Amino acid sequence: MYTAIAPLIRVLGLENPMSLITDTNTLKAACTRLQQHSYVTVDTEFMRETTFYPKLCLIQIAAEDEDYLIDPLAPDLDLSPFFALMRHPGVVKVFHSGRQDLEILWNLDRCIPTPCFDTQVAAMVAAYGDSVSYEQLAHDLAKAKIDKSSRFTDWSQRPLSEAQLVYARSDVTHLRNVYKALAEKLTLSNRWTWLEDEMAILTSPSTYEMDPADAWKRLKGRIRKPRELAILMELAAWREREARSRDVPRSRVLKDVAIMDIATSAPRSVEALAKLRSIPNGFERSRSGADIIAAVERALAIDPKTLPELERNDRKPYNPAAVELLKVLLRMTCDNEGVAAKIIANVDDLEAIAADDDADVPALKGWRRDLFGEKAIALKNGHLALAFSKGRVVPVKF
């Protein structure tokens, strides 16, 4: 299969699995080889402590009988061959807990790897519980032990140490066996469609696109008045744009607690801004101080009728005891079916079901309804009961 380019591979040094690919020709040759496989396993190492966008420092990629480490910081490297491989429809791209990896690829090249397989999500529908670690899966399915000592090292430094390279390589080489074992489990249990539902979310561009106008939704705090909501929305949007333009973390521009303080106090002068305890000394005299006051003024000019509703007051009342019973039912179902509760329903979903038989929640749709939703409605309406028998919770139909 590889006869035609084998001499080039040897010349370019790809036979050494610990060497870093640092030039475009070598990367292109590697990606040409990898495109001939049915799947590749992928991981990245990055830094994001001091930047808004994650700084990609290393790419690890492997196929059935080969693996490569790619140095995205190399000055002579164009990642286009790698992105082309990520878009290749005939090669499954395998990640573990890949949301941050996919976010990086989206930010760099608007690239969403397809088709995509996430082993953490697959493990949730294959009896491994919520958010199982790669180390645990590697131990259980690949009979491998991962040395985690290099996990939190500085991946932007060059040269990378031998220990870092070994650790990075293990992130994709053991993932091959993890992927194959989980794929077999999904086939035997006929649960591929369950995974596909989750992959649709993971591979949707909307998952990674953040409109600054929606940045306020990330913040947690008690907002009671339309005026406060308007200020929160304007400030969060300003901070999002500012952090992106300066490529710094949001908290470097303005901390969450300060946004909430400003939203509730509505300072209209830099002097009033300076009196807030969450504002650092002298901050009000900076350009950002003036920008914040301007954002407050814009917010106060907004018609309150155009703002989103402050609270979800459209939900019907529910009985807290019903929610507790639904939690028990969910746990029983997950234990019996070998699926993680997180992938079926959360507490908000259970509260919605307790309030409304037709609640618009995933648990009442598709395979989740077949597995859990129908039982939940039956339990809520008195057509199903729960009992304890031989050490286990069991359903009792009426």
Q: In terms of C-beta density within 10 A (0-12 exposed, 13-18 middle, 19 or more buried), how is residue 9 classed?
A: middle
Output the CA torsion sign for 343, 347, 351, 352: negative
CATH number of the domain residue 94 falls in: 3.30.420.10
From the CB of residue 128, how many other CB atoms can be counted at a distance below 10 Å? 22
Cα of 305 vs its chain's centroid, Å: 34
Flag whether 312 is in a domain.
Answer: no
Query: Cα dist. 39→13, 83, 89, 115, 202 in Å?
Result: 23, 15, 10, 9, 18
Flag whether 311 is in a domain.
Answer: no
Same domain, 43 and 133: yes
Same domain, 345 and 289: no
Per DSSP, helices labelled H in the chain are 6-12, 24-34, 80-87, 99-109, 119-124, 134-141, 162-189, 192-202, 226-246, 250-253, 256-265, 270-274, 287-300, 320-337, 347-355, 366-368, 374-380
Same domain, 94 and 170: yes
CATH number of the domain residue 282 falls in: 1.10.150.80
Same domain, 59 and 139: yes
Same domain, 83 and 188: yes
pLDDT under 50: residue ranges of the chain: 1-17, 313
Same domain, 370 and 283: no
Last residue of a domain, which of 306, 329, 355?
A: 306
**Rounded to a whole number, what is the largest CA-CA distance in the chain?**
74
Residue 311: predicted pLDDT: 61
- pLDDT digits 0-9 by tens, 124-168: 998 888 878 999 999 999 999 888 888 889 999 999 999 999 999
Q: In terms of C-beta density within 10 A (0-12 exposed, 13-18 middle, 19 or more buried), how is residue 272 classed?
A: middle
Residue 7: predicted pLDDT: 42
Same domain, 64 and 184: yes
Query: Residue 343 is encoded by which pair of tokens?
Result: 């992938």
Same domain, 200 and 238: no
* Nearest C-alpha neighbor of 60 from the set 138, 153, 181, 165: 165
Flag whether 299 is in a domain.
Answer: yes
Last residue of a domain, which of 158, 173, 207?
A: 207
Q: Cβ(190)–Cβ(229) under 8 Å?
A: no
CA distance 286 to 136: 49
From the CB of residue 298, how many other CB atoms can be counted at a distance below 10 Å? 16
Query: Residue 81 is encoded by which pair of tokens?
Result: 């061959």
Flag whether 313 is in a domain.
Answer: no
Same domain, 194 and 216: no
Last residue of a domain, which of 172, 189, 207?
A: 207
Strands 92-95 and 392-397: unpaired
Which residues, at least 6 apart from 253, have a Cβ–Cβ distance to it below 8 Å? Answer: 239, 242, 243, 246, 288
Give the range of the structural domain holding residue 369, as residue numbers without chain letter. 320-397
Same domain, 192 and 341: no
Strands 66-70 and 55-63: antiparallel
pTM for the whole structure: 0.85
Number of domains in the chain: 3
* Nearest C-alpha neighbor of 259 from the set 220, 232, 294: 232
Flag whether 315 is in a domain.
Answer: no
Flag whether 314 is in a domain.
Answer: no
Same domain, 296 and 338: no
Q: Which residues pair with 193 in a beta bridge?
A: none
